Structure 1
Amino acid sequence: MTLTNTEHLDTSDGNGSDASAPSPVAAPTPSSRLKGFAERNALLALLLAVITFFAVYPESSATFFTSQNASVLLGNQSVVALLALAVILPLVTGYFDFSLGAIAATSSVLTAGLMSFHDLPLGLAVAVGVGVGAVIGGINGLLVTRFGLNSFVTTLGMATLLGGLIQWYTGGQTILAGIDPALPRFGGSTWLGLPRVVFVVLITTVALWYLLAQTPFGRSLYAIGSNPRSARLVGIRVERSVWTTFVLAGALAGVTGVLQLARAGSATADNGTSLLFPALAAAFLGATAVVPGFFNAVGTIIGVLFVSVAVSGLTLSGASAWASPVFNGAALLVAVGLSHYLGRHRGVRTG
């Protein structure tokens, strides 16, 4: 982003030199480059260390480092990964969206219900499920940008509302019958030895990375997250851009719901909380990697893998049922603290 000067101001100090000229910037030293490299790759190194530990730990070594476990892990975590990518879109601009888990659950239930209760074809049911996610995201964005409501409270209220609507629509029952078998067949099949849903996540990751890192729109979102007032002064349409992130996040959460339905083959009357918190932990962990202090797509995927691999290793090691939520909660707390520190260090708002 460049700013064009419309006037020339004489800022010389009377000796022929420009008093406003910036002082030369020192070249980065080897130690500073090493520190930057360590910051960018610390989470990846930690992920590799966790994989190595559980691969050799006697209680988990027999089953952890196998292709079958890897396939199951990647397939199951694809849903969390996709929701985590949705989560970072509003976070880039400095806003929370706590309704994304509920939007995913709504999309899953609605897509299944339209096929089961109303005999809609698969394509139309999926389109409606994703479209409803985008509409709910648009409503959230409108409430936050146009009416100035707090994003935390607004989206939390929306999540509660959607949870109640899910219970009403399903009667508290799981939708099992009437789902087009092509959808669970896609969710359970593999390609090149990997679950097909993994490739959906990979394509989405590349697309989101390109949007945020390689386009003027993406750079404007980071500018808003850093300083919305300055972004507005240089001509960025802040409210419209923030609203767009809510719409995109809602649509992506809708796709997440369809993917969850494809993996499970049924839709439960769930409010999506079990998906949201691992996704949040991954998003904030991702803000400590690759581009420390900034929410980014590649770092988010590394965060998803770190959380899922650690939880899988604990489960295979015989850890109790409480270990998974405790680890997810601790990871979220640590990740929020680290991303907040790195964001302040670079002058960026991290939520």
Structure 2
Amino acid sequence: MSVADEKIAPGEQEASASPARRRRPSVHDAERFALPTLLVLLLVVFSLMPEGGDTFISLINIRTVLSEQSVVTLLVLALLFPLVAGYIDFSVAAVATLASVGTASAMSDHDLPVLVAVLVGIALGLLVGLVNGVLIARLKLNGFITTLAMATLLGGLVQWYTGSVAIVTGISPSLTAFGSLTWFGVPRILFLVALAAVVVWYVLTQTPLGRRLAAVGANPHASRLVGVDVESVAMRSFLIAGAVAGLAGAMIVARTGSATVEGSTSLLFPALAAVFLGATAITPGRPNVLGAVIGVLFVAFSVNGLTLAGVASWVDPVFNGAALLVAIGLSTYLSRKRGMTVSR
């Protein structure tokens, strides 16, 4: 009887396979839960620090940080759609700035109702997403350069429209109340962010569009061979990203009661750091909603803890930049390890 014909007893087969089975899950779990574990450790360390520890762990501080990160979280959710499809949209923060000006102007200059003004902001985001989609998906322009150019263009248009003057009058009190007040001790805006996160999770994981986005991001050539309209899928990713970024712009007005021409860079880099950090957690190597939210919390509470500890003001941008570099490096490594396409 040959070796191939020999039968292995069930117990022996299980024993021979069990070491590999035990090793693989442990490594995978370490990758999945490294960032959440670091977040917990970070919260513990900053809460025990003699300087600022009591303030850091206070309910008021936690609520303030979460409320301040609501717009960044929406931008992270916007980034996920093109990122899953294999693209990076550098224009989302500029789109949010444009939408905030459009929303504020609709109320201040044209006396439109709150809901209509918010829809104006979302419509502006959709318009920019459509242009991005046509240029990148249809005309095959480089996504990196195109969205970066779009961000610069939008910044100039906003300055031209506003005359570099913030819109601070005529904002509806009902909109600012939504952005600043609470329900049951929880900032109202967080309920919207939580709903948006659940919807994005559902679309990306439970719908045909989400599966097509993931397929195109993993291998656009193979996706085209099995009948996926790659250009259409990419177009939709930029459209949805624009709409969500437009909603984020409306929420800027709700949070601050104004619309300014500055701030897109300060929103973009924390969002990029969070979304790439999130791609190293939960499903390592793949952008995902839960990991992205954890990334937002990690970046936000790191900066908040350092600020309360009394570090210099330059630490904030240095930390964001370093976190972005580390996050891109780790997510790229994990993506290549799993044979996925690096974002383009």
TM bin (shorter chain): over 0.9
Maintained 8 Å contact 1:105/1:272: yes
Q: C-alpha separation between the residues in 1 aligned to 2:319 and 2:209?
A: 35
The one of 262, 278, 282 equivalent to 2:254 is: 262
Deviation by residue 1:181-209 (Cα, 9 ceiling, x = unmatched): 11001100111221111111111111111
Shift, 1:135, TM fit: 1.1
Amino acid across the alignment from 1:61: G
Q: C-alpha separation between the residues in 1 aligned to 2:276 and 2:103?
A: 30
Maintained 8 Å contact 1:109/1:268: yes
Shift, 1:271, TM fit: 5.6
Partner of 2:184: 192
Partner of 1:22: none
Partner of 1:327: 319
Partner of 2:221: 229
Q: CA RMSD in A?
A: 1.4
Q: C-alpha separation between the residues in 1 aligned to 2:194 and 2:255?
A: 17
Q: After superposition, where does 1:17-28 map in structure 2 within 5 Å? A: none
The one of 222, 230, 240 equivalent to 1:238 is: 230
Partner of 1:301: 293
Maintained 8 Å contact 1:92/1:350: no
Shift, 1:216, TM fit: 2.1
Shift, 1:122, TM fit: 1.4
Deviation by residue 1:9-31 (Cα, 9 ceiling, x = unmatched): xxxxxxxxxxxxxxxxx675112
Partner of 1:171: 163
Partner of 2:329: 337
Partner of 1:119: 111
Higher-helix-fraction structure: 2
Q: C-alpha separation between the residues in 2 aligned to 1:51 and 1:258?
A: 31
Question: Are positions 1:158 and 2:167 aligned together?
Answer: no
Amino acid across the alignment from 2:54: A
Q: C-alpha separation between the residues in 2 aligned to 1:30 and 1:191?
A: 46
Work out the number of aligned pairs and report it. Answer: 328
Q: After superposition, where does 1:267-278 map in structure 2 within 5 Å? A: 267-270=259-262, 272-278=264-270
Amino acid across the alignment from 1:330: A
The one of 305, 308, 320 equivalent to 1:316 is: 308
Deviates more, 1:31-40 or 1:103-112: 31-40
Percent identical pairs in the alignment equals 52
Q: C-alpha separation between the residues in 2 aligned to 1:57 and 1:50?
A: 11
Maintained 8 Å contact 1:91/1:350: no
Amino acid across the alignment from 1:272: S
- Structure 1: which 5+ runs fail to align? 1-25
The TM-score, its normalising length taken from structure 2, stands at 0.93
Partner of 1:39: 31
- Structure 2: which 5+ runs fail to align? 1-16
Q: C-alpha separation between the residues in 2 aligned to 1:179 and 1:347?
A: 49
Maintained 8 Å contact 1:166/1:271: no
Maintained 8 Å contact 1:285/1:335: yes
Q: C-alpha separation between the residues in 1 aligned to 2:341 and 2:319?
A: 25
